[in-house]
Amino acid sequence: MSSVLGVGVIGCGNISATYFRNVPIFKNIKVVACADINPSSSYDSSKEFGVTALSVEEILNDEDIDILVNLTIPSAHFSVSKSILEAGKHVYTEKPLAISLEEAHRLKTISEKNGLMIAAAPDTFLGGAHQHARYLVDSGDLGNIIGGSCNFMNHGMEHWHPNPEFFYQNGGGPIFDLAPYFLSNLVQILGPISEVTALHSMPEKERVILSEENYGKVIQVNTPTTIHSILKFKNGSLVTLGASWDVWKHGLPDMELYGSRGSLKIPDPNFFGGQVQKCDPEGNFENIVKWDHPFGIENEENELGSFANYRSVGLSDLAFSIEKGDTPRCSIDLAIHCIEVMIAILKSGEKGSSIKISTSVNRPRSLLTEEAKNMME
């Protein structure tokens, strides 16, 4: 029987509620405390979710906590994760791991020196739909994967997010905010990326917040908001990546892979589930019978419909990895590789030339149905 590791949360902002709600799904982790630089935020979370509210210093030194989840803003991820490691605790951090490659490598060095583990979101590639897609590619059903197309385009975060300013600063933008979902899924299916080419633009220098809390506030834009890139994989595949917060509507696929014997339509990797479709050489896309995978089952609803949300599976996987001495599926090496790719995309857009990727990573282990079921209560 697996032991239950104590979990603490640092940062009680918008995303934290998802972790508080989802951690109880998994049998080997339990949230016991939370902290925020704004004490009222941690107090509100403690009351809503039945955990203890602590100061940041107190949570770093709490002996009942084995793993601290870093849910602070991207620019603070490095310093907070560093403090967690120096306090002798394992880290699970929201994406991105850091906003520079130097910071990411420093975290790896500190974790190894202290005998600790770091895992980093996203964990959505462990969802049923994406594991099914990987299985189909690995089986050779599509032949050799020649290329693909990924697209994540909308009109920005200021329309709904209560505090969207940080999304438009260094470490934000559609690349740092949304590309991790697509890159981690591509890497777990196709393997590491070897080279990128990109162009980008920043059509609007200011944005106006339209959500209620800060309605009408003008924020400065300091990062590209429309980016188009080509990713070359070590296996030879070429995948286009279109990202924008300047598009009102589009009809492009979330993710498609093109093989020598067929094509695969994969759902948005920002989510765990959805319908995988396969196209045969005759040109007909057909729904594939869904796997009986627990992390593809719809368990939430919003105004857009029902969907599968199992954020925290990467945290549970980290806990199992700590116990068994395995490499977490959402490993620091995967995070570092994706960070280098994201930075290279932005640098390529500035330079107007391709950039070679220096890091590599092994594909994370697949998460098949039975193992996934065994992670749950």
Q: Is the pLDDT of residue 1 over 60?
A: no
Q: Residue 133: pLDDT band by 50, 70, 90 thresholds?
A: very high
DSSP annotation of 363: P
Q: What is the pLDDT, as a whole number, of residue 13? A: 92
Mean pLDDT of 279-303: 90
Q: Residue 72: name the closest of 6, 162, 7, 166 by CA.
A: 166
Q: Is the pLDDT of residue 315 over 60?
A: yes
Pick the residue with more confidence: 75 or 355?
355
377 CA to centre of own chain: 24
pLDDT tens profile 40-56? 999 999 999 999 999 99
What whole-number distance in Å separates Cα of residue 253 and Cα of residue 268? 9
**Pairing mode, strands 5-10 and 29-35:** parallel
User: H helices within the chain, ranges in order?
Assistant: 16-22, 39-49, 56-60, 77-86, 101-113, 128-138, 173-190, 313-324, 332-351, 369-373
CA angle 144, 145, 149 (to 5 degrees): 165
Q: In what order do the strands lie in the sheet with 193-201?
A: 285-287, 277-279, 262-266, 255-259, 145-153, 238-244, 226-233, 193-201, 355-356
Kindly state the percentage of the chain with pLDDT values over 70: 99
What whole-number distance in Å separates Cα of residue 164 and Cα of residue 211? 9
Q: Is the pLDDT of residue 275 over 80?
A: yes
Can you tell me which residue has the tokens 């490499």? Answer: 327
Out of 122-136, 163-177, 226-240, pick the least confident.
163-177
Pull the structure tokens for residue 75: 């620019």
Task: Assign 189 to helix, strand or coil.
Answer: helix
pLDDT tens profile 93-117? 999 999 999 999 999 999 999 999 9
Calculate the average pLDDT of the chain: 95
Q: What is the pLDDT, as a whole number, of residue 2? A: 63
Q: What is the pLDDT, as a whole number, of residue 212? A: 81
Q: Is the pLDDT of residue 29 over 60?
A: yes
Pull the structure tokens for residue 272: 């765990």
Q: Residue 5: pLDDT band by 50, 70, 90 thresholds?
A: very high
SS3 of 281-336: CCCCEEECCCCCCHHHCCCEEECCEEECCCCCHHHHHHHHHHHHCCCCCCEHHHHH
**In order of start, what are the domains of the chain with their CATH numbers?**
128-297+330-362 (3.30.360.10)
Task: Assign 358 to helix, strand or coil.
Answer: coil
Q: Is the pLDDT of residue 187 over 80?
A: yes
123, 287 contact by CB (below 8 A): no
Listing DSSP states for 340-352 in one string gives HHHHHHHHHHHHT
